[in-house]
Amino acid sequence: MRVAVLCGGFGAARFLDGLRRLPGLTLTCIANTADDLDYLGVHVSPDVDTVTYALAGIFDEGRGFGVVGDTFRNAEALRRYGAGWFSVGDVDLATSIRRTDRLRAGATLSEVTAELARGLSVGAAVVPMSDDPVRTVVVTDEGRLPFQEYLVRRRAQPLVRAVQHEGLEAARPAPAVLPALAEAELVVLAPSSPVASLGPILALPGVRDALVATTVVAVTPVVSGQPPATPPEQSRARVRAAFLAAAGLDHTATAVAGLYADIADAFVLDERDAAQTPAIRDLGLEVFLADTLAVGAGRVTLAESVVALAGR
């Protein structure tokens, strides 16, 4: 089965941990690049790298970014000089250095991403959403902040008034994006932030139109029935809620489903939030209940359930 997944970072990584273990899939992961930044002369692609590391089985879920077992001596040294607010692990930094060197030599982000995935022996295709620069800007009560400065440097403390994606009007999907969607028997909207992560991908020209012709299943990123348990989960839930609020939406699975109702066929709702089923069905979506917070073998079960929906 040919499966394409639209991905943010952390939430998508947890879902891909199960999906990557399923046999018989030709998998293409289309990753958000609106969170990219140039940091101290190095081009960092947080969501692209998170997806790649997850597919390679080395993503540090406990920290919420980077590579398991990484050290941070470089970041610690930079702090002596008043830098280092954006912590990049030493092994993780090698990825960004190689990306930067290849980009400066004239390679596209798509080409570099494919090379880096091969270097980590990733069998799936990892595709940036665009080779053109798109950057998320958070409009706050303290002014306009690039996404990573809002999230990391300011620890998501300023009040969010709006979320914008600079460069999106001129951006085009990366060359592999629309063909992957056209050829897919199933497209999964990963449990990623609908505003910060999947919103920029879906806003690229031709993407929503391509989804009309295939089976699309969205997996909820929001679980109301259980509080986020770990610091990475808590941080992302707080930011996701702030971004939805800035768009005039509640932080609920139903609100997320409403954003996808025109393109999705089915919505995977966490079993703890089963009470929201009627409201989501009223949006015209089929609803399937699952443990979307599963770990270990439970993630394989979740992935199997999502893939099985394509047959229905």
Q: How far apart are CA 73 and CA 54, in angstroms?
A: 23
pLDDT in tens, 196-241: 999 999 999 999 999 998 999 999 999 999 999 899 999 999 999 9
| Of 77, 90, 132, 88, nearest in space to 109 by CA | 132
Domain ranges of the chain: 2-37+123-135+168-311
* Residue 310: predicted pLDDT: 86
What six digits make up the tokens of 99?
Answer: 């990306």
Q: How far apart are CA 20 and CA 57, in angstroms?
A: 9
Counting every residue, how long is the chain? 312
pLDDT in tens, 168-206: 999 999 999 999 999 999 999 999 999 999 999 999 999
| Of 134, 263, 264, 126, nearest in space to 204 by CA | 134
* Residue 282: predicted pLDDT: 98
Question: How far is CA 223 from each of CA 19, 160, 260, rounded to the nearest angstrom?
Answer: 20, 22, 17
List beta partners, residue 286: 266
Cβ contact 267:220 at 8 Å: yes
What six digits make up the tokens of 88?
Answer: 């990049």
Residue 74: enclosing H or E segment and its boundaries? Answer: helix 73-79
Under the banding of pLDDT at 50, 70 and 90, the label for residue 312 is confident
Cβ contact 223:256 at 8 Å: no
pLDDT in tens, 23-71: 999 999 999 999 999 999 999 999 999 999 999 999 999 999 999 999 9
Non-local (6+) Cβ contacts of 160 within 8 A are 138, 139, 140, 150, 242, 243, 245, 246
* Residue 84: predicted pLDDT: 87
Residue 269: enclosing H or E segment and its boundaries? Answer: strand 266-270
Mean pLDDT of the chain: 97
The secondary structure of residue 286, as a DSSP letter, is: E
CA angle 175, 66, 267 (to 5 degrees): 60
Burial (CB < 10 A; 0-12, 13-18, 19+), residue 167, is middle
Q: How far apart are CA 299 and CA 55, in angstroms?
A: 13
| Of 6, 3, 1, nearest in space to 196 by CA | 6
* Residue 311: predicted pLDDT: 77
Percent of the chain clearing pLDDT 70 (strictly above): 100
Q: How far apart are CA 250 and CA 273, in angstroms?
A: 14
Q: Which CATH number fits domain 2-37+123-135+168-311: 3.40.190.290, 3.40.50.300, 3.40.50.10680, 3.30.70.60?
A: 3.40.50.10680
* Residue 52: predicted pLDDT: 98
What six digits make up the tokens of 47?
Answer: 């969501």
Cβ contact 181:210 at 8 Å: yes
Q: How far apart are CA 241 and CA 255, in angstroms?
A: 11
Under the banding of pLDDT at 50, 70 and 90, the label for residue 261 is very high
pTM of the model: 0.96
pLDDT in tens, 270-300: 999 999 999 999 999 999 999 999 999 999 9
